[in-house]
Amino acid sequence: MKNILVTGGAGFIGSNFIRYVFDKAGFKGRVVNLDKLTYAGNPENLADIQRKFKGRYAFVKGDICDFKTVAGVMKKYKISEIVHFAAESHVDRSIFGPKDFIETNIHGTFSLLEAARTIWGIGNREPGVGNRGSGKFRFHHVSTDEVYGSLGKTGKFKETTPYDPHSPYSASKASSDHLVRAYSDTYGLPITISNCSNNYGPYHFPEKLIPLAILNALEGKPLPVYGDGLQVRDWLYVEDHCAAIWKILKKGRAGETYNIGGNCEMKNINVVKGICAALERAVPARHNKALGGKKYSDLITYVKDRAGHDRRYAIDFSKLKKELGWQPSVRFAGGLAKTVDWYLANPGWVKNVKSGAYRSWLRKNYTR
């Protein structure tokens, strides 16, 4: 029976992954969720999982930068697989406060790698040997397509695309990717890496484009769009991402990198317009008093472009499709409708995550 350590499991993608593992993947072992509970981490995301899978789901409040904490968790729970989500991930925040990104994304990943090779006994082997192919252990590192930089009007990112990060966030993730590969090549640590495109779906903290636009529109607030709004991103429904990670964890070749994409290139302005259309179907503007007679699209507001803003991302996931048989199953329109419906159905969750007092209480007092 495998015991999986998920770092950052109280966040958006991490909590969806844990949910997928228990509800969709048929996993019979234990999942340990290690999360520091920074502003975007929320144990409410998994409250039902904790009740339903008591004894097989454990939450530990802790910092991945603390080697003793990580090693202690790995030893106590006999961890044999790590799925590393924990990261500072917002580009804007990295521009105005890069220190946290360097600490968490680089130093935190280093701490995890050191703990893994120490607890798994891989640290003193001949370089390049170890037990990468044994299947006994696995360290999966979740990264981003932003490490590749920006594309022109054509082409897609491949696993062999040279790195060219343009923000403190993407630079810190690129650094962590290189560390993970170095531990594979130097110590034989059994690793896999995935670089994915933009995720969306339930439990997304309202600072990223889609959840922010949904909630702002419902409240009659401006919908900010950077620059001309023609930046292109490849969108991936979060459950599809979780399914891909599970495939890689179970069947991916040790030492390999796999790109995960949604095959869904969208201009930012069209994403925002799509959100307005989805909200109009779910909550017609004429019934929303917060709009004061406006249409949702009237709230679109162009703002000064972000510094170092990449123009286009697109992912070639043919390696993942060919080797492991994965491809996205949720089309953007359907995934966006499900996402809008989720936020409408969970006003209590929204209220809590937007409450500064509630977030402060969680960080100080949540110890389960």
Rounded distance between C-alpha atoms, residue 294 and residue 248, angstroms: 46
% of the chain at pLDDT higher than 90: 84
Decide the pairing of beta strands 300-303 and 191-196: unpaired
pLDDT in tens, 140-155: 999 999 999 999 999 9
Cβ contact 257:192 at 8 Å: yes
Q: Which amino acid is at 5?
A: L
Under the banding of pLDDT at 50, 70 and 90, the label for residue 126 is: low
pLDDT at 92: 84
* Among 313, 266, 306, CA closest to 149: 313
**Which residues participate in catalysis according to the annotation?**
145-146, 169
pLDDT at 133: 47
- Give the Cβ contact number of residue 224 at 10 Å: 17
Out of 240-244, 274-278, 304-308, least confident range: 304-308
Domains present along the chain, CATH in parentheses: 3-204+234-263+309-331 (3.40.50.720)
CA angle 259, 316, 154 (to 5 degrees): 140
139 phi/psi in degrees, rounded to 5: -115, 110
Rounded distance between C-alpha atoms, residue 252 and residue 191, angstroms: 10
For range 240-264, the mean pLDDT? 97
pLDDT in tens, 188-209: 999 999 999 999 999 999 888 9
Under the banding of pLDDT at 50, 70 and 90, the label for residue 129 is: very low
The pLDDT of residue 185 is above 80: yes
Rounded distance between C-alpha atoms, residue 338 and residue 358, angstroms: 27
pLDDT at 123: 62
Between these two residues, 131 and 349, which has the higher pLDDT value?
349
Cβ contact 202:48 at 8 Å: no
The pLDDT of residue 6 is above 50: yes
Mean pLDDT estimate for the chain: 92
The pLDDT of residue 116 is above 90: yes
Dihedral over alpha carbons 261, 262, 265, 268 (to 10 degrees):
-100
The pLDDT of residue 284 is above 50: yes
Under the banding of pLDDT at 50, 70 and 90, the label for residue 299 is: very high
The pLDDT of residue 156 is above 60: yes
What is residue 328's DSSP assignment? -
